[in-house]
Amino acid sequence: MKTLIIGASGLVGYHLLQTTKSRGWDVTGTYHNYQLPELSPLETIQEQKVRSLIFQIQPEIIFLPAFLSNVNYCETNSEESHLINVEGSLNVIKASKEIGAKLVFYSSDYVFDGQSGPYKETDLVNPICVYGKQKLEVENLITKLLDDYLLLRITVVYGYELQGKNFVTRLIKSLQNKEIVKVPMDQIGSPTLVNDIAEASCRLVETKQQGLFHVAGVDVISRYDFALKVADVFNLDCQYVIPIDTPSLHQLAPRPLKAGMICDKLSSTLNWNLKGTIEGLNFYGNDEKF
Ligand SMILES: NC(=O)c1ccc[n+]([C@@H]2O[C@H](COP(=O)([O-])OP(=O)(O)OC[C@H]3O[C@@H](n4cnc5c(N)ncnc54)[C@H](OP(=O)(O)O)[C@@H]3O)[C@@H](O)[C@H]2O)c1
């Protein structure tokens, strides 16, 4: 299957690259700032470059995990992040439509306000931060402009990562260095092993699914409880994990507190569940690259 991954240097994109390659798909990946030898450079705001790469490759499937994923940065740089996240995605959406490719976009549970999670696909969206509003804007563009697409809402993603930015990787490093880490006990979500997101993405494509799916691990827990499980699985001292409430963290972007996702639609469609927290963390710990 001819495949393009825009943002293959990131956490999700890198695993999409590995998972599609292991299936024998004919895959091209792109990077923006984090250069990797096997990837092609691409900045999504450069419309002509987006078009010419997509027209040259003629992929049947375009995975689009590229986004400014730093929620606080998006909040304080709303114009720049709108340009990259919304206009950049729109360039990909338009080119996908022109060549008739299926687009797989990665959204987030930040499209919800966090009053009453965990959420299912049919629940009302109401984003409370710039990042969440931009995700919703792209979701709406996709549903308006495309016929063949997958919108996959994901959340609290962890696992092996070249750039080492995700919560679990940073937490493990801090606890190994015996540094105090303050973790919110009032932010509830569904931790998700990145390998499972890549696997679910490929299975949904292979079975020709379309539309919106929540793709998350089966547990809905607080960030603090998640951190304690990380300490436990990786044999690290949990006394350095300090519970705190979100207002005391003074995060620049408001967070949907009671978030997380219900993935019944995905489970029944694929007859498969993503791993729970302990199973996922053990998988990560046993990853040969860890
Ligand atoms: N990680 C999570 O917990 C989480 C939760 C919910 C939703 N999501 C969403 O899932 C998607 C994947 O997340 P992730 O954690 O894999 O993100 P990530 O690690 O930050 O990766 C983002 C990717 O986008 C690329 N990129 C950034 N700006 C670009 C631009 N202007 N043009 C082209 N490419 C650009 C990056 O390239 P370089 O690194 O080479 O610059 C990188 O490959 C994102 O849409 C994110 O918002 C993630």
Smallest CA separation from ligand 1 atom 36, residue = 7
The residue whose CB lies within 8 Å of the most ligand 1 atoms, and thus the one to mutate among 67, 129, 133, is: 67
Binned at pLDDT 50, 70 and 90, residue 241 comes out as very high
Burial of 154 (C-beta count, 10 Å sphere; 0-12/13-18/19+): buried
The ligand 1 atom at the shortest distance from the C-alpha of residue 84 is: 31
- In 3D space, the residue among 124, 123, 114, 122 whose CA is nearest the CA of residue 155 turns out to be 114
Query: 26-31 and 157-158 as β-strands: parallel, antiparallel, unpaired?
Result: unpaired
User: Is residue 245, in this structure, part of any structural domain at all?
Assistant: no
Is 80 exceeded by the pLDDT of residue 288? no
User: Is residue 39, in this structure, part of any structural domain at all?
Assistant: yes
Q: Mean pLDDT in the chain?
A: 97
Residue 177 CA, ligand 1 centroid: distance in Å = 27
Is 90 exceeded by the pLDDT of residue 120? yes
| Collapsed DSSP state (helix, strand, coil) of residue 227 | helix
Q: What is the structure's pLDDT at 289?
A: 75
CB–CB of 142/135 below 8 Å?
no
Smallest CA separation from ligand 1 atom 33, residue = 43
d(CA 210, CA 121): 13
Q: Residue 90 is part of a domain; what is its CATH number?
A: 3.40.50.720
Q: Is 217 in the pocket of ligand 1 (CB under 6 A)?
A: no
User: Is residue 88, in this structure, part of any structural domain at all?
Assistant: yes
pLDDT digits (tens, 9 = 90+) for 243-261: 999 999 999 999 999 999 9
The ligand 1 atom at the shortest distance from the C-alpha of residue 105 is: 45
- Number of compact structural domains in the chain: 1
pLDDT digits (tens, 9 = 90+) for 171-221: 999 999 999 999 999 999 999 999 999 999 999 999 999 999 999 999 999
Residue 68 CA, ligand 1 centroid: distance in Å = 6
User: Is residue 251, in this structure, part of any structural domain at all?
Assistant: no
Q: Is 164 in the pocket of ligand 1 (CB under 6 A)?
A: no
Structural domain of residue 114, as residue ranges?
A: 2-163+191-218+261-276
Binned at pLDDT 50, 70 and 90, residue 287 comes out as confident
Residue 240 CA, ligand 1 centroid: distance in Å = 29
User: Is residue 68, in this structure, part of any structural domain at all?
Assistant: yes
User: Which tokens sit at 182?
Assistant: 């303050």
Q: What is the structure's pLDDT at 253?
A: 97
Residue 239 CA, ligand 1 centroid: distance in Å = 32
Residue 15 CA, ligand 1 centroid: distance in Å = 12
How far apart, in Å, are the Cα atoms of 237 and each of 59, 120, 233? 47, 35, 11
User: Is residue 225, in this structure, part of any structural domain at all?
Assistant: no
pLDDT digits (tens, 9 = 90+) for 15-64: 999 999 999 999 999 999 999 999 999 999 999 999 999 999 999 999 99
Q: Is 155 in the pocket of ligand 1 (CB under 6 A)?
A: yes
Binned at pLDDT 50, 70 and 90, residue 168 comes out as very high
Going 119 to 124 to 126 to 131, the CA torsion angle's sign is positive
Q: Is 43 in the pocket of ligand 1 (CB under 6 A)?
A: yes
User: Is residue 284, in this structure, part of any structural domain at all?
Assistant: no
CB atoms within 10 A of CB 101: 23
User: Is residue 272, in this structure, part of any structural domain at all?
Assistant: yes
